[in-house]
Amino acid sequence: RPHSCPRHPGARTMLPLLLLLLATAHGLNTIRYTPTLASSSLGGLITASTFTLEQPRCVFSEDPGNPVIWLVVAVPEAVPTFNDSVEPGSPERAFQRFPGSAPAYMTLNTTLLNYPCPKRPGDITVLRVGSETSCTKDGTRPTCNGPLPGPGPYRVKFISLNGSVPVEQTAWSEPITLRTAQPLSDIPAMGSGHSAGMITLTSILSILFAILLAGLVAMLVFWGSDTYGGSSTFSKPEAVTVRRYNTHHVYDQPAARL
Amino acid sequence: MAKSDDGIRILQGLLVFGNVVIGMCGIALTAECIFFVSDPHGLYPLLEATENDDIYAAAWIGIFVGFALFALSILGIVGVIKSNRTLLLVYIILMLITYAFEMASCITAATHRDFITPNLFLKQMLERYQKTETDNNNDIRMTERVTDTWDKLMLQNQCCGVRGPSDWQEYTSAFRSTHSDADFPWPRNCCVLDARGSPVNLDGCKLGVQGYYNSNGCYDAISGPMNTHAWGVAWFGFAILCWTFCVLLGTMFYWSRIEY
């Protein structure tokens, strides 16, 4: 009677185990550390062409071979197929060809001496990716830490190499997207409407001016039809004039005065 | 008769007092407006570049109105004491003309104060600061003055941009087209500079570490003096005009009571 061979119960876990064995056979140990951006209190944490990472302090273990720790910057599409054994500085990993013909580049190489553990409290331990502008177009410097060509997103990881053999690596970071500047024509230039103070001022002044003009008109009309003094007018203090009466001539009569 | 005489004397006294106050306020207005026109904070180039500098026009009018008020108040005092109808009529008409000018000055200052917003200066700064492609001589001169004003402003007030250094990151600008983002996330004057004018810590400034760069915006340093200027011209002028209104009404009444 035919019987199907029952599948080995551990078959599903075989494949990942094999892969892990393969990885450790190469000697590449993946550390449980994810590169993160530095503290958000930094004003220049992410700009249009640079970003700043926390240094990987107390992450890599001491190795007698004194490996060199590199930073890998890649576009997210290159992450699943990333080949750890490609040497840094090769055309496949040249900054100047990123992201066109080189989907990832390696830069910021240093030894563990520069990442002392434990970190001194109060120290700002950051790595600014994109700060070297002098070698952006220099083909002889493929490991240039040049400004990133676009807003990304990008994913990074740290990898330590003994010669050209990878020893340890961190996990890949979350995608990092850089800033995009808005065109300045987007800024609305016209201000807000009129404030209450200005409206009050204008209306009160206009009313007062109108009253004054009305008063002036009334004054001039009054002056035009000025025929009587009224009981409340007052006389100016005048000098006393002496009228001369010529008693001998009847014709010389003093003219009638008000 | 005696009572109405007393009443007239009181009115005369009040009018003389009112004119004295007008004279003194006229001198004060002139002094205040000269102070504003002299631009002690050096902010005029920014307003000039926005083509919105009518606040200065209002201050100029204020200078001449102040003189006129002083001169007319003397005429008014003489006219009231002599009870001369002609003098007082001339006084009232000239005062009304001065009143109209001062009204224009107050309303202009108040209206243009409303145009002063952060976006106005932000746009100017981004368009003109360190701009290199200039069209004509006028443009070159204006660009130079705006750049110098901003440099001085950022240095003296320890500030950067209008709202903050992020202004340089959020928007494109003439500065960004000539200075790479990696080397100059913001202008050098946003860094804390030492006595010789070079940044204390250039890397710290580029990173944006507190203490090595100016993280606050310059808008307060700009709008503070300008608001004082605008409100000083507008509301002091308003107060003078209210007082002048009362004095003029009293003078008109007094005039109508003088025996011809």
Q: Could you tell me if B207 lies within 8 Å of chain A, comparing CB atoms?
A: yes
State the residue range of the domain holding B140. 118-218
Integer Cα distance of A216 and A223 in angstroms: 10
The residue that leads in pLDDT, B236 or A139, is B236
Q: What is the mean pLDDT of residues B1-6?
A: 66
Q: Which ipTM was obtained for this model?
A: 0.86
How many CB atoms neighbour CB A100 within 10 A?
Answer: 8
Residue A249's contacts (CB-CB under 8 Å, 6 or more residues apart) are none
pLDDT for A227 equals: 47
Please report, as a single letter, which amino acid is at residue A120. Answer: R
Cβ neighbourhood burial of B165 (10 Å; 0-12, 13-18, 19+): buried
**Most confidently modeled of A151-160, B55-64, B66-75?**
B66-75
* Residue found under tokens 């890649």: A74
Residue A231 CB neighbour total at 10 angstroms: 7
CATH code of residue B165: 1.10.1450
Predicted confidence at residue A236, as pLDDT, reads 55
Query: Residue B137: its pLDDT value, please?
Result: 85
Closest residue, chain A, to B168 (C-alpha):
A181
Contact with chain B for residue A228, Cβ under 8 A: no
- The whole-number pLDDT of residue B135 equals 80
Minimal C-alpha gap between A185 and chain B (Å): 8
**Statement to judge: residues B189 and B247 lie in one domain:** no
- pLDDT tens per residue across span A134-180: 988 888 888 889 999 988 899 999 998 888 888 888 999 999 999 99
Identify the pLDDT of residue B89: 92
Are B234 and B111 found together in one domain?
yes
Query: Three-class SS of residue B176?
Result: helix
Residue A26: per-residue pLDDT: 53
Residues B152 and B203 placed together within one structural domain of the fold: yes
Per-residue pLDDT averaged across B122-146, rounded? Answer: 88
From chain B, pick out residues whose CB is under 8 angstroms from the CB of A130. Answer: 182
If one compares B50 and B26, the residue with the highest pLDDT of the two is: B26
**Cα–Cα distances in Å, from B218 out to A101, B54, B126?**
44, 22, 14
**Token digits for B131?**
């701009």
For A199-208, the pLDDT digits (tens) are 999 999 999 9
- Reported as a single tens digit per residue, the pLDDT across B167-221 is 999 999 999 989 988 899 999 999 999 988 889 999 899 999 988 999 999 999 9
Sign of the alpha-carbon torsion through A230, A231, A233, A234: positive
* Predicted pLDDT at A228: 47
B181: nearest Cα among B169, B192, B193, B171:
B169
Contact between B241 and A205 (Cβ < 8 Å): yes
Residue B241 has pLDDT above 90, yes or no: yes
Say yes or no for a CB contact (<8 Å) between A50 and B182: yes
Long-range pairs, B202-207, Cβ under 8 A, ≥24 = B203/A128, B203/A131, B206/A44, B206/A128, B206/A131, B207/A42, B207/A43, B207/A44, B207/A52, B207/A124, B207/A126, B207/A128
d(CA A43, CA A40): 7
Report the pLDDT value the prediction gives residue B1, as an integer from 0 to 100: 46
Q: What is the pLDDT of residue A152?
A: 80
CA distances (Å), B180 to each of A149, A234, A256, in order?
A: 12, 84, 99
The token pair at A190 is 């016209």
Q: What is the pLDDT of residue A124?
A: 82
User: What is the pLDDT, as a whole number, of residue B205?
Assistant: 92
In this structure, the strands spanning A126-129 and A68-74 are: unpaired
Closest C-alpha to A46, from B167, B3, B256, B182: B182
Distance between CA atoms of residues B28 and B34, nearest Å: 10
Q: What is the pLDDT of residue A232?
A: 47
Q: Which residue, among B18, B104, B20, B96, has the nearest Cα to B62 in the 3D structure? A: B104
Query: Into how many domains does chain B fold?
Result: 2
B148-156 contact pairs (CB < 8 A, 24+): B148/B45, B149/B42, B149/B43, B149/B45, B149/B46, B150/B46, B150/B125, B150/B189, B150/B218, B151/B187, B151/B189, B152/B42, B153/B42, B153/B43, B153/B218, B153/B221, B153/B222, B154/B187, B154/B189, B154/B190, B154/B214, B154/B218, B155/B189, B155/B193
- Asked if B12 is an interface residue toward chain A (Cβ–Cβ < 8 A), one would say no
pLDDT at position B168, please?
92
| Minimal Cβ distance to B181: which of A49, A183, A234 | A49
List, run by run, the mean pLDDT of 10-residue segments along chain A (258 residues): 54 60 63 89 90 89 84 90 85 86 89 84 87 87 89 90 86 92 82 82 94 91 63 54 60 50
Contacts of A150 in chain B (CB under 8 A): none
Mean pLDDT value across chain B? 91
Distance of alpha carbon B122 from alpha carbon A84, whole angstroms? 47
Phi-psi region of B214 (alpha: psi -120 to 50; beta: other; left: phi over 0): beta
Cα–Cα distance, B121 to B237 (Å, whole number): 27
Residue B154, pLDDT score: 93
Give which of B207, B233, B244, B254 to mutate to test A binding, by max A Cβ within 10 Å. B207
Query: CA B77 to CA B104: how far, in whole Å?
Result: 26
- pLDDT over threshold 60, residue B153: yes
Question: Which A positions 82-111 lie with beta carbon below 8 A of chain B?
Answer: none
Question: Is the CB of A233 less than 8 angstroms away from the CB of B258?
Answer: yes
